[in-house]
Structure 1
Amino acid sequence: MSSPIVKLIAQRVALGILLLLAVSVLIFVGTNLLPGDVAQSILGQAATPVALENLRKEMGLNDPAYVRYFHWLFGILQGDLGTALTSRLDVATSIKERLWNTLFLAFWAAIISVPLAIILGLLAVRYRNGPIDKLISGFALASTSLPEFFIGYLLVFIFAVTFPILPGISTVHEGMPFLEKMKAIALPCTALTLGVLAHMMRMTRAAILNVMQSAYIETAELKGLSAFEIIRKHAFPNAIAPIINVVTINLAFLVVGVVVVEVIFVYPGMGQYLVDHVAKRDVPVVQAVGLIFAAVYIFLNVVADVASILANPRLRHPK
């Protein structure tokens, strides 16, 4: 690997680390600006002023904000995500299983949505301006126009209420048989898939159509190659960089954007865990989950940048 590529990748990684640091500051400031008193919410309205003051001192709430931030940051760097205020359990231990559940759901949504989006994008290009292209584009427009919560409730109404063939509440647990787990995540997985499918499909179509205007595509047409062969052998390989980029960004959304879907289907993942503890004003949990979501999103965006650099010669040699 040549030096310019290593330099570009190092710049992207360094930028990602700086961005994550900036996001950690925003998360800390945002959670500390939440209304109400943490000590009061833990001890209740009947707590005495002495008890409240002792709890604030024990939790370090009387320390300056910058002291609490660096204490929190250094703890995270050592693998300590803090202790939940409501349950007094270690946050890292509580998050572990829920993070696995979220990644499990996002993985299967990606397995379905990525190949399907690319295939639909290729079909739309192959039959562009025809009935198939218009049908696919119409589906993409409808899918993009509907918010995730509406899609989720619609799926519940159809497949769990009207035709009760799938569970409306996606309960999964350790040791659950694989097929039962797949049945439990069928509806939330479908909602997530519909949420990202349209964007990936439209970007795939746009990237390939952009390549189809190139001179070498005209040469391939003059040689008598079929439209399918031109797309498969010439257009798709040269459009792979932007496709990889948009796929990776949507994978980041699958992990980070699960909050609404998990709440609708009561799925025991990170999103549901976050919403539950926002309601309880459990600041350490909110900070930890927010930082994990930010880290995953930034990491996958860095991966998208690096993949684009490696797949596109023009980015590897900007001069």
Structure 2
Amino acid sequence: MGDILGLVAKRLGLGLIILLVISVIIFFMVELLPGDIAEAVLGQGATPENLAALRKEMGLDQPAIVRYLDWLSGAVMLDFGNSIVTGTSVSQTISERFANTLFLATYAAAIAVPISIVLGIIVALLRNSIFDRVANVATLTSISSPEFFLGYILILYLAVKTSMFPAIASLSSDMDFGDLLYRTFLPALTLVLVVTAHMMRMTRAAIINLLASPYIEMARLKGTPPWKVIVKHALPNAWAPIINVVALNLAYLITGVVLVEVVFVYPGIGQALVDAVSKRDFPVVQACCLIFAATFILLNLAADVGAILTNPRLRHPK
């Protein structure tokens, strides 16, 4: 147990270092953007006195390194400052949006993860069959299609032509859980189509690789049923790569939903990021990017820990 905790601590420390580097990149890349933030906020008709007052209020009269340290110290306490456009707290602005994104990602993951694992096992058992070839073509088509393209196709056939689901995922506080699932089904289905294909192919590859192992051949020679060979012998040793793939796709569900949220006008953090970029609301942009980075790093850490816990060779290295 001590070795595992030490390894987790090392991974966490490395993740914090990476997040620190990413925070530097985020802050100074925004600093390098052309134009003056104060002029963008006040417009071309602003007087020099108003520009100077706004720059002082936003801290733009201080050196960049001082502003970065102030921003980083606030970010550690989950205080990202105030929005330039609305003047409200950035944390308050994006907290509800981030909760909506987490709900959408959880909704899609609850559908995609079990389906992809089951289908991956089935196509591994039926490899080189017609079903396997059809599944490969379908998954390659899904992986090759951009999210916004799949979203518009679903809107066309499931919202415009058949009116089965709403084309816009509008949410309200008085909605019940069933209505919430109904209104967010199309964006969740778009994410499911994208991540299921990748997870299914990686599960298939992991199972096929293990089926060629000597202990699997011995289990077959003993007359063990095929399903038992998969469930009791192959699948436990395939959990490590499967967990890695699932964690990476969960990271994508949270950090890669920008296009899907824009297509369906879903009030998530991706939509908030796009709105902030269009309005040059840089505190919101920086906060969204840092949250995306932290989420991706944490899920990668979870993938590493999961792979270690499911693989005895990693738990007890020689």
TM-score class, shorter: over 0.9
Q: What is the CA distance between 1:300 and its match in structure 2?
A: 0.5
AA of the residue aligned to 1:159: L
Secondary structure at the aligned position of 2:84 is classed as coil
Aligned-partner Cα distance in 2 for 1:98–1:226: 49
Matched AA of 1:227: P
Check if 1:287 corresponds to 2:286.
yes
Letter in 1 for 2:260: V
Q: Aligned pair 1:153/2:149, yes or no?
A: no
- 2:242 is aligned with 1:231: no
Alpha-carbon separation, structure 2, partners of 1:240 and 1:58:
53
Q: How does the TM-score come out when normalised to structure 2?
A: 0.98
More divergent stretch after superposition (209-218 vs 107-116): 209-218
Query: Helix, strand or coil for the counterpart of 1:239?
Result: helix
Q: Structure 1 stretch 225-234 or stretch 120-129: which is displaced more?
A: 225-234
Aligned-pair CA distance for 1:136: 1.4
Residues 168-179 of structure 1 aligned to structure 2 (within 5 Å) = 168-179=167-178
Quote the sequence identity (%).
53
2:261 matches 1:245: no
- For residues 48-59 of structure 1, the aligned pairs below 5 Å read 48-59=47-58
Distance 2:107 2:201 in 1: 21
Unaligned runs of 5+ in 2: none
| Counterpart-to-counterpart distance in 2, 1:138 and 1:261 | 23
Partner in structure 2 of residue 110 of structure 1: 109
Compute the TM-score of the two structures, normalised by the length of structure 1. Answer: 0.98
- State the distance in 2 between where 1:39 and 1:317 align: 57
Which residue is 1:124 aligned to? Answer: 123
Q: What amino acid is aligned across from residue 90 of structure 1 in structure 2?
A: S
Contact 1:155 1:187 in 2 (8 A): yes
Shift of 1:118: 0.1
Deviates more, 1:33-42 or 1:21-30: 33-42
Task: State the alpha-carbon separation in 2 of the partners of residues 276 and 178 from structure 1.
Answer: 27
**Structure 2 residue aligned with 1:195:** 194
> Residue type of the partner of 1:55?
L
> How many Å apart are 1:173 and its aligned residue?
2.0
- The answer to whether the 8 Å contact 1:123/1:132 transfers is no
Unpaired runs of at least 5, structure 1 = none
State the 1:88 CA deviation.
0.3
Cα deviation, 1:179-217, whole Å, max 9, x if unaligned, reads: 211111111001111111111111101111111111110
Runs (4 or more) in structure 1 with deviation over 3 Å come to none
Q: In the TM superposition, what is the alpha-carbon distance from 1:236 to its structure 2 partner?
A: 0.8
* Partners of 1:244 and 1:308 within 8 A in 2: yes
Q: Distance in 1 between matches of 2:60 and 2:7?
A: 42
CA distance in 2, matches of 1:29, 1:173: 37
Distance 1:22 1:127 in 2: 46
Structure 1 residue 34: Cα displacement: 1.7
Q: C-alpha displacement at 1:141, in angstroms?
A: 0.7
Q: Could you report, residue by residue, the CA deviation over 1:111-137 in whole angstroms, capped at 9, with x for unpaired residues? A: 000000001101101111111111211
Q: What secondary structure sits across from 1:45 in the alignment?
A: coil
Write the distance in 2 (CA, Å) between the matches of 1:96 and 1:185. 19
Partner residue, 2:272: 273
Contact 1:241 1:308 in 2 (8 A): yes
Equivalent pair of 1:101/1:268 in contact (CA under 8 Å): yes
Cα RMSD (Å): 1.0
* One-letter code aligned to 1:82: G
3-state secondary structure, aligned to 1:309:
helix
Q: Is the 8 A contact 1:16 1:302 kept in 2?
A: yes
Question: For the residues of structure 2 that align with 1:32 and 1:158, how far apart are their CA atoms?
Answer: 44
